[in-house]
Amino acid sequence: MHKRRLLLASLVGALIVALIGVIVVLGGSSRHSAIVPAPSAGVGPLVAFYGDSYTLGTGASDDARRWSTQISRDRGWQEFNPSVNGLGFINNRDRFGAGDLPDLIITAKPDIVFVTMGLNDNFSYDFAAQDIKAQISDDLSRLSAALPDARFVVVEPFWYTDERPRSVEVIISWVQSAATAIGADYIAGASRWIEGHPEWMAADGLHPNDDGYLEMARRMDLELEALGL
């Protein structure tokens, strides 16, 4: 009887582990999948944003207050923003190719593409530096090849603290080089746009608040005016 109970307990335990494994696998496959938004209203060009939480607008009181929506609204652009919290070129990325964010953007066939990625890759830099470098080039090359008529605006990766690990400047240099390789417009300096202003940060201390996004929109607007956009 005792052996039967042990055997039964082992089988139940194995079943639980197996079920947990299935849940983890399913969760991993959908964890970072974007809910594909419909483009916003507008009569201007369709503009896609490939970004993370700083482009998704995490920390803002409403999507209307994120920088991407502010600049799109002011220009009459149709905004397509499938950005994902925590996403990097490598960091928290569960797929490469079909179904990833570049694929969603390619499918949308935008007239203008913003790339605002790289912040989160600093958290993977110590063990995935070369993968990050390669993926930056792969993503931008793939987008450019699939959308030959689109205009690309690559933004220096944002940053969120006054302290800057060495990886920040390294990843910035990789993004800039990849932008140059595809002939994209490049906006420098964005990693310092909200530096030194804790009052522009949301309660989580990680993301901008409405005032922070307003400042980002103001700075982005100046850069885009200089580019004729």
DSSP for 15-51? HHHHHHHHHHHHHHHHTT----PPPPS-SS-EEEEEE
Closest CA to 119 of 169, 72, 80, 162: 169
pLDDT at 3: 34
Backbone CA torsion sign across 63, 220, 181, 162: negative
pLDDT of residue 43: 78
User: Distances from the Cα of 150 to the Cαs of 49, 91, 225, in angstroms?
Assistant: 13, 26, 18
Residue 187 corresponds to which tokens in the numbers above?
Answer: 């906006």
Dist CA 13 CA 129 (whole Å):
39
> Would you say 45 and 112 are in contact if contact means Cβ atoms under 8 Å apart?
yes
Q: Torsion angle, CA of 214/151/155/90, rounded to 10 degrees?
A: 120
Strand 185-187: give its sheet, edge to edge. 78-80, 46-51, 112-116, 151-155, 185-187
State residue 35's pLDDT score: 60
- Cα–Cα distance, 182 to 41 (Å, whole number): 29
Question: Of 155, 151, 161, 144, which is closest to residue 222 (Cα–Cα)?
Answer: 155
Spatial distance between the Cα atoms of 172 and 156, rounded to a whole number of angstroms: 6
Identify the burial level of 83 via C-beta atoms within 10 angstroms of its C-beta, where 0-12 means exposed, 13-18 middle and 19 or more buried. buried
Dihedral, CA of residue 128, residue 133, residue 136 and residue 141, to nearest 10: -130
- Tell me the whole-structure pTM to 2 decimals: 0.83
Ordered DSSP codes for 56-81: HTTTSSSGGGSHHHHHHHHHT-EEE-
Residues of the chain predicted below pLDDT 70: 1-36, 38-42
Contacts of 116 (CB under 8 A, 6+ apart): 49, 50, 51, 52, 54, 55, 83, 155, 157, 158, 190
